[in-house]
Chains A and B, each alone.
Chain A
Amino acid sequence: MLVDSPPEPSAETAPAPPRRRAVRAAGLLVSLVVLVLVAVASIAIGAKELSLEQVWHGLFQDSGTYGDVVVGERLSRTVLGLLVGAALGLAGAVLQALTRNPLADPGLLGINAGASAAVVTAITFFGVTSLNGYVWFAFAGAAAVGVLVFFLGGSRGATPVRLALAGTAISAALYGYLQAVMITDEAALGKMRFWTVGSLASATSDIIWQVLPFLAAGTVLALALARPLNAMAMGDDTARALGAHLNRTRALSMAAATVLCGAATAACGPIVFVGLMVPHVVRSFTGPDLRWILPYATVLSPVLLLGADVIGRIVARPAELQVGIVTAILGGPVFIFLVRRRRTAQL
């Protein structure tokens, strides 16, 4: 028979010894350094390679040379990658804690499909053509579907399969709509086929400023939820016995996750698997304490996203592979590995 793993001990009840805490803090610092390195690589690597001096020059002594212009463009792309990556990782960690389900992910939960359907509607029926214009539609669509999936997936007793299937089913339905529109409207097809794969290539400072307030608010909210989510990890009854406000925590977590994913998807199209993968990786060395998982996920997710973006630029030079494709191709196998490794029998 398959033995369900016992509920993971909470860090609330067993505070980490000071030494482990120091190790974790040091690890976080190292992760930050890695993030900076990846960010620099993201600025330096591309169709035109830049040396470190050129990067430095472009960042701090902008004098309008060709290299400086390239740095400027890659800078907004990198900043957007940082923001979006952090948002996706954080949202994934919150969703996984909220649903007590290591498979929850904004992509699997249909938020991407909601954003896509809203964007195609915007293009075809409202005549929106600029990327900046898409943002609000994508955001609204993502939010609507996020809420819908959560309720259809069984809000309280949401099981891994039920949520995943609710998300997939709604995605399937929305993609049907998407196809109908794209078949009848060639212009929409021309735009959508690039938007739906998820890319950082079109980043501009306008888009960054549009989504920044949402991402900032969502990040603060999500980080503040670490303690109540820790309590909820042990089951509703235990959480209630510990004095957690279940419904409030649940509503706030869902709101934080939806705002984060919605804004991220609005800014650069659907990017899957970052939110799924990073919290898993993080959990493997921080343990189940969300007060560590959330900061780590915030730092390491952009590492993955920017890394995938850089890879996408390297493998298809001088053109590039959209980051959404790279993350799915890297993340899919990880997902399957996780499914295979989990020794669960429950449905």
Chain B
Amino acid sequence: MKAPRKQAPRDQAETAQAAPARVSRGRTVRTVGGLSVRVDVRAFTVVVLLLVAALTAGVVLIGTGDFPISAGDVVRTLLGNGDAGQEFIVNELRLPRVLVGLLVGASLGLGGALFQAISRNPLGSPDVLGLGQGSTAGALVMIVLFSGTARQVTVGALIGGLVTGLAIYLLAWKRGVHGYRLVLVGIGVSAIVTAVNGYLITKADLVDATRAVVWMTGSLNGRDWEQVWPLLGLCAVLVPLVLGNARALRMLEMGDDVAYALGVRVERTRLLLLVAAVLLTASATAAAGPVGFVALTAPQLARRLTCSPGPNLVPAMCMGATLLVVADWASQRVFGADQLPVGVVTGILGGVYLLWLLVTERKAGRI
């Protein structure tokens, strides 16, 4: 695993100026064989801390519910030393839910970071581009027209998301995919699909409509091992693939021409990463519904913690996982178990964050 390059915090920068200038800031590890790997100390620390936070939140979340279990007991049970009752609750009921939360959060965080890097826009997240709407359309078709089972809804959502992603890519393609065009086409597609969704909801009876709205908000209720394995498999394939292309993605940040001049095969890299991002987002959405704002906020928060340019893929992934599990825990604590789905909490958190982002970024003259 490699971490993005970083810039030192400013106080370090000043001392570096006094010393003979170091050209770049990452710690470099070199071997005799001429191999060299750069490690960004700060980003690495952030990743470790986020992982610790995510796991801690996961343990606490497993302990939360109608039958509270202490953190010590949770850990003991997870290690296989708990009593039978606790073992059932932990391993069969709550662990899969937490794992789905972690995986969905990580996928959304990574997918969001990819979309933002490719569209070169901090707001170019899958929520805005209409992927969530596409998944919703697939799920609504299953719920409203076929009164489908949970599994059918999942499959429908997956197909909806993938088809929407494909449609956006094809429609935005015109001698290559321009970030700007991608965002605007996404907004257009999103509007069409939203209208279709609105129509489907008006067609549904009230029970189905309620089920649809709960699904649309994003929820981790009742997720079990059946959701864990496909997600885990997909992440195992896609995450290494994406990270292998992270350096090329970093070059893409400087504009297509510069990346091209540096020998990056721009369109191919972009297509590969977009496909990966669509797969990650669509499968996460299929598993838990379009949980709002994780994909939008996780990369931005991660970036502010690592203080480093570049897509910050690994930190964004860890941040997504942490955010989602913490939000799930918060929704259970604040509103009571299973009253409000996790998507409401991430929506509220994300909304506040987004307003702040728009104001500050505007002052900084960005976006």
Contact = CB atoms under 8 A, between A and B. Distances in A.
Contacts of B198: 193, 196-197, 322, 324-325
A162 B359 CA distance: 12
A64 interface: no
A180 B189 CA distance: 24
Interface in B194-214: 194-196, 198-199, 201-202, 206, 209-210, 213-214
Contacts of B178: 345
B351 A176 contact: yes
A107 interface: yes
A175 B214 CA distance: 13
Nearest to B190: A168
Interface string A139-180: 000000000000010100000111011101110111011011
Contacts of B341: 183
B191 A169 contact: no
Nearest to B119: A161
B191 A180 contact: no
Contacts of A322: 198-199, 202
Contacts of A324: 195, 198
Given A173-B351, A197-B199, A161 B359 contact: no
Given A152-B355, A172-B292, A335-B188, A347 B180 contact: yes
B182 to A, nearest CB: 10
Contacts of B123: 165, 168-169
A257 interface: no
Contacts of A197: 195, 198-199, 202
A108 B187 contact: yes
Interface in B110-154: 120-121, 123-124, 127-128
Interface in A92-144: 103, 107-108
B202 A194 contact: yes
A335 B195 CA distance: 14
Give the interface centre of A103, A321, A332, A333 by most chain B CB atoms within 10 Å.
A332
A161 B350 contact: no
A296 interface: no
B331 to A, nearest CB: 10
A174 B351 CA distance: 8
A320 to B, nearest CB: 11
A116 to B, nearest CB: 11
A329 interface: yes
Contacts of A180: 217, 340, 344, 347-348
A339 B181 contact: yes
A165 B340 contact: no
Given A108-B187, A325-B195, A339-B185, A183 B210 contact: yes
Given A173-B347, A179-B344, A186-B210, A193 B202 contact: yes
B354 interface: yes
Contacts of A335: 187-188, 191
Interface in B346-367: 347-348, 350-351, 354-355, 358-359, 362, 367
Contacts of B367: 154, 161-162, 165
Contacts of A273: 191
A340 B120 CA distance: 18
B192 A328 contact: yes
Nearest to B129: A168
Contacts of A14: none
B217 to A, nearest CB: 5
A173 B351 CA distance: 5
A344 B202 CA distance: 38
A246 interface: no
Given A176-B347, A182-B213, A272 B195 contact: yes
Contacts of B266: none
Contact of B210 (A166, A189, A346): A189
B163 to A, nearest CB: 15
Contacts of B210: 183, 186, 189
A1 to B, nearest CB: 9
Interface string B208-237: 011001101100000000000000000000
B128 A165 contact: yes
A5 interface: no
Nearest to A162: B367
Given A162-B367, A180-B340, A182-B213, A336 B185 contact: yes
B22 interface: no
A321 B179 CA distance: 35
A152 B350 contact: no
Given A169-B358, A176-B351, A186 B191 contact: no
A243 interface: no
Contact of B209 (A164, A165, A189, A346): A189
B206 A183 contact: no
B184 A345 contact: no
A179 B343 contact: yes
Contacts of B128: 165, 168-169, 172
Interface in B32-75: none
Interface in A249-273: 272-273
B183 interface: yes
B53 to A, nearest CB: 24
A333 B196 CA distance: 14
A179 B343 CA distance: 9
Contact of B171 (A169, A184, A329, A336): A336
Given A152-B359, A182-B213, A165 B121 contact: yes
Interface in A288-347: 321-322, 324-325, 328-329, 331-333, 335-336, 339-340, 344-347
17 contacts: A161-B180, A161-B367, A162-B367, A164-B184, A168-B123, A173-B351, A174-B351, A176-B293, A176-B344, A179-B343, A183-B214, A186-B206, A325-B198, A329-B192, A332-B191, A332-B192, A340-B181
Interface of B: 120-121, 123-124, 127-128, 171-172, 174, 178-181, 183-185, 187-192, 194-196, 198-199, 201-202, 206, 209-210, 213-214, 216-217, 292-293, 339-341, 343-344, 347-348, 350-351, 354-355, 358-359, 362, 367
What 9 A-B pairs come out closest when comparing CB atoms? A176-B347, A173-B351, A328-B195, A332-B192, A197-B198, A335-B188, A165-B123, A336-B188, A180-B344
